[in-house]
Structure 1
Amino acid sequence: MTKRNKIIYWVATLWLALGMVATGVVQIMKMKEEADMFARLGYPAYLLTILGVWKLLGVVAVLAPRFPLVKEWAYAGFFLAMSGAIFSHAAVGDGGKEFFGPTLLLVLTVVSWYFRPADRKIIPVNS
């Protein structure tokens, strides 16, 4: 892995982790603004806790060494959660401001996944 790619990976991954921890904590705490937004999007309040806990667990998985299969699931979960957030905002006709956070986290997820080092990837088994 080149030094450039390692820098891209760690910058994207640390920003991704920061964003997921921040939003996960806000969701677990069921802050009024977040709860109101979920209600406006048509989701039940208990989903805040589920998503918040999953985000925090996903951050641990992405940052921890080893366990490449768990990392793949965490990246997939981040991708599904953020793309779902984008489509949910689009479905209710939200403006650009509401798209910024999930779009940024989606891009960071893809960049972090793409530039991850070889020891953080699943190595295909030749049969």
Structure 2
Amino acid sequence: MTKQKAGKITYWVATLWLALGMTSTGIVQLMHMEEEVQMMAHLGYPIYFLTLIGVWKLLGVIAILIPKFPVLKEWAYAGFAFTMIGALASHLALGDGMVELFGPALLLILTEISWYFRPTNRKLVPISSK
């Protein structure tokens, strides 16, 4: 298997798992499932954050899956990273255990793998200076 093909497979596996994770958590956040409401209260955040984060996650999934729009993809990846880093920092600040850290950590790792291995046609191409 060539390095290019291995990178493409790595990209799609990570991206599909990331999309599945962000979609499923985004939906339960939009539904305000009791576990999510309790977690937000535990973390000290207002409940309306569930709606904001849920919508952002679903829009981010669309952005990373559709072709083209490299600037939008960069923002989606950044948003995923900021959200997961924020979740990790919040849980760590409260002394939560590995169970609470696992989900955000996994999604952060998938975000970074997907971003790193994305194909050239999904990357932001720098403007060359003349």
In structure 1, what is the equivalent of residue 66 of structure 2?
64
In structure 2, what is the equivalent of residue 96 of structure 1?
98
In structure 2, what is the equivalent of residue 43 of structure 1?
45
Q: Distance in 1 between matches of 2:47 and 2:98?
A: 24
In structure 2, what is the equivalent of residue 105 of structure 1?
107
In structure 1, what is the equivalent of residue 16 of structure 2?
14
**1:108 shift after superposition:** 0.1
TM-score for the superposition, normalised by structure 2? 0.97
> What's the CA shift string for 1:45-97, capped at 9, x where partnerless?
00000000000000000000000000000000000000100000001110110
The residue matched to 1:125 in structure 2 has which SS? coil
Letter in 2 for 1:99: L
TM-score for the superposition, normalised by structure 1? 0.99
Q: Distance in 1 between matches of 2:13 and 2:119?
A: 13
**1:28 shift after superposition:** 0.3
Which segments of 5 or more consecutive residues in structure 2 lack a partner in the other structure?
A: none
Aligned pair count reads 127
Over 6 Å off, 4+ runs? none
In structure 1, what is the equivalent of residue 77 of structure 2?
75
Letter in 2 for 1:20: M
Which of residues 50, 54, 57 is equivalent to 2:56?
54
Q: Distance in 1 between matches of 2:64 and 2:23?
A: 12
For the pair 1:84 / 2:99, whether they are aligned, the reply is: no
Aligned identity (percent) is 64
CA RMSD of aligned residues (A): 0.7
Q: Distance in 1 between matches of 2:81 and 2:52?
A: 16
